[in-house]
Amino acid sequence: MGKIAFVFPGQGSQAAGMGKEMYESHEQAQKIFDEADKKLGLPLTQLIFNGPQEELTKTTNAQPALLTVSTAILEVLKDAGISPDFTAGHSLGEYSALVASGALSYSDAVYAVRKRGEFMEEAVPNGQGSMAAVLGMDREKLASVTETVTSEGHSVQLANINCPGQIVISGTAEGVLKAGELAKEQGAKRVIPLEVSGPFHSELMQPAADRFKEILENIHISEADVPVISNVTSKPMTSPDEIKGRLIEQLYSPVLWEDSVRTMLASGVDTFIEIGPGKVLSGLIKKIDRQAKVYAISDSETLGKTLEALRGNTE
């Protein structure tokens, strides 16, 4: 059997009720939820389990909520004796990956992502920035589209390079609109506006990055026990200084998800376990490499099936 990577979803995977069954079935999961409420001084668990969805989807809530659910599931998986050779997460998911790798304590991570969400929401007034998914266009061609629109005085750039033929662009509302129109003229199959509160992973997030730097200055980052694949470089990182720097850059840099998955494949990973709600990353990984074994764990049932499959593979 090849190597195993734990991967963690980012914003957009949140759904009211996520993690509830894990909380009710596993003491280790319960402790994580309880710690979230205590650390943040607010009833986050209540919001995660009961919604309303609109409130849960706000960036300031969605980020600590997803981290909490992913970490709760991770704790149960660790107790089952499964450990990774690499970890990675999509945008916000990188914080869950850092917890899984031992570089961040859960308590520090949940505080940090709550602040990260606040700063991201405050960086650009609502409605001024946007993001859109561009389907059916390669990276170089789309990069040249965004450069053309930027040269005309609008801000737009590649934000998430998810898998072949699926790239998200981010910037001012005007810039994203113009880039989307130009991309369609040049052969993109579809352009889908995303329901987000701001232009994440674009240079417009620089003010959030500047404020977030101060938060990270006061948080202890350890040497990672397991390499974490950085969103910014798509390369493994373990040193505290590099991790800190990349987390700040990550706010205004593109998420190189496709490249990150290829790095892990090239390093001998053949099994990916998505830990958290939904199956967004599982779908992307399959589009990058059909041969990869991909599992998604969101509750006790999917945990049981995954453990059974993994044990079957090793025997």
Task: Show the tokens assigned to 297.
Answer: 């764990």
Residues 266 and 141 sit within 8 Å (Cβ to Cβ): no
Active site residue 201: yes
Residues 76 and 22 sit within 8 Å (Cβ to Cβ): yes
Calpha distance 204→169 (Å, rounded): 13
Q: How many CB atoms lie within 10 A of CB 171?
A: 29
Calpha distance 80→190 (Å, rounded): 43
What SS3 state is found at 228? strand
Write down the catalytic residue from 13, 201, 253, 260.
201
Write down the catalytic residue from 91, 170, 260, 298.
91
Active site residue 90: no
Residues 219 and 112 sit within 8 Å (Cβ to Cβ): yes
- Residue 237 pairs in a beta bridge with 228
Residues 4 and 85 sit within 8 Å (Cβ to Cβ): yes
Residue 235 φ/ψ, nearest 5 degrees: -120, 160
Residue 170 φ/ψ, nearest 5 degrees: -145, 145
Enzyme catalytic residues: 91, 201
